A and B are shown apart, each in its own frame.
Chain A
Amino acid sequence: EIALTQSPDFQSVTPKGKVTITCRASQSIGSSLHWYQQKPGQSPKLLIKYASQSISGVPSRFSGSGSGTDFTLTINSLEVEDAATYYCHQSSSFPLTFGPGTIVDIE
């Protein structure tokens, strides 16, 4: 089973600030890494697929990069509505796994 770790666990940022979340896989997964946003009481929402591919309807301030074992989600010019928990997810091999999540709070 491929384990995913995320850092930091928690980040507090002011509006218009920049957030960088890292996801590390326990073995190489190519670009089979995806990012979701989950707000309290809601289901997760797909933000980025295959490491860096954008999703229709997702604001352009969300971007992803990386390959192999190290990946990054960047949120530029943070807005109040971006307060949420962010999860990475790998689809390189079964069982599919998720990272533990990173909580982003707005100061």
Chain B
Amino acid sequence: QVQLQESGPGLVKPSETLSLTCGVSGGPIDSYYWSWIRQPPGKGLEWIGYVYQDGTTSYKPSIKSRVSMAVDRSRKHFSLKLSSVTAADTAVYYCAGGGGWPFEYWSPGTQVTVSS
């Protein structure tokens, strides 16, 4: 059974870059599409983008200019970088994935707060 676990700072200052990593265990990192999804406090789910094993990415257009995702197959993890953050980026961030769509596997979620 594939398990995902995020890691990264829980507090980021405004205008700085949010960086998170998601470790994959219990299964392969290859042949899966790996996404980042966030959920602002008390709100619904927002897909940010995905990265595939070959480095192919697709991002939500409204956030595309600030997002970067990458996969490290040797270390079995993938990453998210979100630049120029504001309070609106405060959310629980999930990594999720599967052999295609939908999202079969989800991480527990990590709270990221943007505040000075």
Name the residue on B nearest A55 (C-beta).
B104
Evaluate contact between B44 and A95: CB separation under 8 angstroms.
no
Other-chain residue from B45, B59, B61 in contact with A44 (beta carbon distance below 8 A): B45
Find chain B residues with CB under 8 A from A45 CB: 106
Q: How many residues of B contact A (CB 8 A)?
A: 20
Evaluate contact between B101 and A99: CB separation under 8 angstroms.
no
A-B pairs with beta carbons under 8 A, tally: 48
Contact count band on A: 20 to 34
Closest CB-CB distance, B31 to chain A, in whole Å? 17
Other-chain residue from A42, A43, A96, A100 in contact with B47 (beta carbon distance below 8 A): A96
Q: Is B58 an interface residue (CB 8 A)?
A: yes
Majority DSSP secondary structure for residues of B touching A: loop
Question: How does the 8 Å CB contact mask read for A37-61 relative to B, with 1 for contact and 0 for none?
Answer: 0000011111001000000000000
Find chain B residues with CB under 8 A from A96 CB: 35, 47, 101
How far is A88 from B101 in the complex, measured between Cα atoms in Å? 13
Majority DSSP secondary structure for residues of A touching B: loop
Question: How does the 8 Å CB contact mask read for A90-107 relative to B, with 1 for contact and 0 for none?
Answer: 010011111111000000
How far is A100 from B108 in the complex, measured between Cα atoms in Å? 20
Evaluate contact between B101 and A34: CB separation under 8 angstroms.
yes
A94-B58, A95-B61 known; A43 vs B44 contact (CB < 8 Å): no
How far is A44 from B98 in the complex, measured between Cα atoms in Å? 14
Q: Is A32 an interface residue (CB 8 A)?
A: yes
Given contacts A44-B94, A49-B102, A99-B44, 8 further A-B contacts (CB under 8 A): A1-B61, A43-B108, A44-B106, A46-B103, A89-B102, A97-B47, A98-B45, A98-B46
